[in-house]
Structure 1
């Protein structure tokens, strides 16, 4: 019996009591009733404070309401006992058979177990990397590549339709500097002082000349454009390739320059003007974002006719909403706190609800330590530690799991030696080893000819079995909460706790027969539980983009 099933049972009991005239609830029966796993198992398998919450509305005291509900709950199939604690808490004990049925539920659901419908019908755009196509992706992008992708996976598991989006900063002076830097290297000249100096620029120059042999014979102004565009394509392709290798896939690669080339900026200004928050002053066009809490109004078009970067931001937001997204999530770096107010105000100026239609989580910096030294610079990149370099040092699984394990708004230091060592005090190894151990048990069962057969759930009555079943029952709620709060790290912490609960179960509950011992229904029931646990660990690791290995 899952927490959701118990919650439904409590709502049914409340409804029956109201229909029978035994209870009056002027506001009606609540659509959600909280049912939690108590820390102390002496308090039963589950607990609810519904009597305390509803007593005042019902015109009675919590204890009396608890008595009324407990009498009815004891008649529900699968509920073994209901005790009243304190001022009116209901402690519920379910039967072994009802709890053991969860193993069948999980195994039959397979990859779908843990998925829900809390966000069904909601379309969400998650933009979690915005980068210039002028060099390799760096350490600052690595955290969002892992966390943003995990967040998208969790939101999808909660039922949302999610689009992962990369915003390409491909417009402005930096692109010309990029082209000039490549061109200089191709001619064997010094790179401009304010250009790009990493060794990768030399590689790009060679690649561009190889692709376009006559490029050096063109007029210099034509060369600049040609080197810029060819370098852009090559560098963007490298970014895309590295992210795919990091298991971070984007559905949309959105070009900033396309906003201007396709008239989306002018269109967005027309849309915003209709909302009444644009005004002209000193020959420039402004948005009165101070109407919605921004610290100052924002210029959209300067007096010289040039659009500001904020104009592109406005056009991009309007475009997202017109593409049908209910919620636009912008995952931004630690140096972008100032964007929260202006983007929220932008949404409000567009006629939207800034508390619903736009979300702007801010991530903090991450440091990578190897051999006691912080990894800082890459000679190839010139000024940064690249995503490829970090992945090479730590590996995809260790890096993704470790980055997703902590709240994104907390600074983070990762030691390569710690996150890659194969010991039980390394969380990613511990969880992956748990999955591999479960797979090994199932392989051994097959070799012994022991099939799990038909589940007899009432046989899963050992305390360790009950604890493990209780942990598996929590997975859907953990996923739903992670999606609701935009906190995928909750999945990682849950996996570690569940792996620990499994190892403790396995230490005292023999799953397979020994020697010439015949397999019993208890062995078979435990195989159901083992397979259910494997499903949950695999599904949880998949939400983090981490492999669930069958062997280690």
Structure 2
């Protein structure tokens, strides 16, 4: 939480505890150990800004009704020197507290002082945390699941960074194993078909049938001609993969960069093979007696760790499985690179892989509880109320690149972050390009632009923002002003909550509410024509709202236009 909110919470906790100790000392309450109690924000702020259950949880310790305990506490309660100016007992014994004007004054001063740093905290204490997301198969183009996972993963990483963690973004490239063999076989068939005809060359039954394979084979043929038609099959496939794979990866990098996503590392699976880490990891499992041979394959005793069935680590053909490489990769994250916690953003179809991967970390001597998986549910594209599966431009299944050609990046990143990862969502293509208040990102950006417009108009009349005294800022006392400042004060807490829950959607909801509260303030409270002291205070409030909107949009890598 922000230092200001932390200070207010600490003051209130100490004040309540002191009042309980006094009540025990003067006999209003019996001598007893004071139990832990909570301080929280009520759902309805009309019942107070903060509330405590201290009396409720003390009933057993003091052998008294909560209401009587609450009366004893409030009889001995002094709010002097705190950010609170009054309290009341509610219901069976809750005590509600109301913030003083000084709290709201100091919130605005805090935002002005911190500027772009407002909202950031040291909650994470610099712990190393990796967010691995998208990690799409490089044998083909990225799809809508990758579009949603990319936005959520990148914004989750940003939230964790703002909450004080040392964050590392990573893309895991499956450039080895069976899928690359299949990729090579598919490219080979398409390449040979160019020269021998489709009927003369059988396409692999389990091959990749996408047009992207045909395109890469054609590009290869354009560059090398028929040089590889009569080459040894192994050499031909190797040349095709070495030609096509880097181009696919470069396309992924370009598409994701356009999407506003930059990684600290694109980690190649082949590195695990070449550096011996995969072999080393399998040996650890062997040494622990967790493997056995069966029908020419090497198996892992997954059932030892609660799985329904054992898993193959090395196939009969000698190729390690995806699962074996995945164990080695996650071991690399923890044991080799020393991350305190790792978060994987996966598609919902990987649900069955979660428990076995966490268990595999335990199996190799690490702590599986430090591996967290965020599962992304399906997304449907909708236009005119109808589900859309094909691109208008290409007539083929919509890819991430197609989406970004049709929809502004700002809208894509914002809309994909409006729902929790665990919920299915419809992405409305019409809404994403609307330039009105129905479009949430437009609505938020417009609030920022409106504030900039207000300040620009005032400047044209010679009225500049200036430092305000506490007395001037205390003039901000309408309900709309109080609601807006109170919401501004909650930003740091929202970031921490989003980091705790791995839910960056909290931040989009927060900034939509912020924009709404600003529009309410603007429609109710005049800025330009008020007398000097109140006008200066309202200008300060406008600047504070603009700062926080800008900070949120910057966090989400979304632009904050000054005019619209």
SS in 2 for 1:487: coil
Deviates more, 1:213-222 or 1:48-57: 213-222
Displacement of 1:106 in angstroms is 1.3
Displacement of 1:52 in angstroms is 2.4
Paired position in structure 2 for 1:86: 91
- Seen in structure 2, the aligned counterparts of structure 1 residues 536 and 73 have a Cα distance that, compared at 3 Å, is farther
Partner of residue 500 from structure 1, selected from 496, 506, 516? 516
**Aligned equivalents of 2:238, 2:5: Cα separation in 1:** 62
Paired position in structure 1 for 2:418: 405
* Alpha-carbon displacement from aligned partner over 1:252-296 (angstroms, at most 9, x marks no partner): 111122211221111112344455544455654333222332221
Query: Residues 439-518 of structure 1: matches in 2 within 5 Å?
Result: 439-455=452-468, 456-513=472-529
**Aligned equivalents of 1:277, 1:57: Cα separation in 2:** 51
Deviates more, 1:148-157 or 1:425-434: 425-434
Paired position in structure 2 for 1:52: 56
Paired position in structure 1 for 2:203: 193
**Aligned equivalents of 1:63, 1:131: Cα separation in 2:** 59
- Seen in structure 2, the aligned counterparts of structure 1 residues 204 and 176 have a Cα distance that, compared at 3 Å, is closer
- Seen in structure 2, the aligned counterparts of structure 1 residues 534 and 69 have a Cα distance that, compared at 3 Å, is farther
Displacement of 1:16 in angstroms is 4.1
**Aligned equivalents of 1:107, 1:403: Cα separation in 2:** 31
Paired position in structure 2 for 1:62: 66
SS in 1 for 2:243: helix
* Alpha-carbon displacement from aligned partner over 1:272-331 (angstroms, at most 9, x marks no partner): 445554445565433322233222122223455432221111111111112111212121
SS in 2 for 1:549: coil
Assess if the C-alpha contact under 8 Å between 1:13 and 1:69 holds in 2.
Answer: no
TM score, norm. by length of structure 2: 0.88
- Seen in structure 2, the aligned counterparts of structure 1 residues 510 and 201 have a Cα distance that, compared at 3 Å, is same
Assess if the C-alpha contact under 8 Å between 1:136 and 1:381 holds in 2.
Answer: no
For structure 1, the 5+ residue unaligned runs are none
Assess if the C-alpha contact under 8 Å between 2:379 and 2:426 holds in 1.
Answer: yes
TM score, norm. by length of structure 1: 0.90
Partner of residue 99 from structure 1, selected from 95, 104, 107? 104
Paired position in structure 1 for 2:539: 527
SS in 2 for 1:230: helix
Assess if the C-alpha contact under 8 Å between 1:165 and 1:251 holds in 2.
Answer: yes
SS in 2 for 1:435: helix
- Seen in structure 2, the aligned counterparts of structure 1 residues 37 and 523 have a Cα distance that, compared at 3 Å, is farther
Deviates more, 1:162-171 or 1:194-203: 194-203
SS in 1 for 2:463: coil
**Aligned equivalents of 2:290, 2:186: Cα separation in 1:** 37
SS in 2 for 1:164: strand
Deviates more, 1:118-127 or 1:16-25: 16-25
* Alpha-carbon displacement from aligned partner over 1:366-421 (angstroms, at most 9, x marks no partner): 11123454332459989632101011122211111111101112111122112221
Paired position in structure 1 for 2:182: 174
SS in 1 for 2:134: strand
SS in 1 for 2:245: helix
Query: Residues 145-544 of structure 1: matches in 2 within 5 Å?
Result: 145-171=150-176, 172=178, 173-180=181-188, 183-184=191-192, 187=195, 189-190=197-198, 193-194=203-204, 195-205=207-217, 207-208=219-220, 219-221=231-233, 222-273=235-286, 277-280=290-293, 284-302=297-315, 305-322=318-335, 323-354=337-368, 356-377=369-390, 384-455=397-468, 456-513=472-529, 520-544=532-556
* Alpha-carbon displacement from aligned partner over 1:97-141 (angstroms, at most 9, x marks no partner): 321221111122122212222222322111111222222212221
* Alpha-carbon displacement from aligned partner over 1:331-367 (angstroms, at most 9, x marks no partner): 111211111221122122133343x311122111111
Displacement of 1:504 in angstroms is 0.7
**Aligned equivalents of 1:458, 1:25: Cα separation in 2:** 42
* Alpha-carbon displacement from aligned partner over 1:492-516 (angstroms, at most 9, x marks no partner): 1111112111111111111223xxx
Assess if the C-alpha contact under 8 Å between 2:390 and 2:398 holds in 1.
Answer: yes
Could you say what the CA RMSD is over the residues aligned between the two structures, in angstroms?
A: 2.9
**Aligned equivalents of 1:197, 1:92: Cα separation in 2:** 65
Count of residues paired in the alignment = 544
Assess if the C-alpha contact under 8 Å between 2:281 and 2:364 holds in 1.
Answer: no
Assess if the C-alpha contact under 8 Å between 1:3 and 1:35 holds in 2.
Answer: no
Displacement of 1:49 in angstroms is 2.5
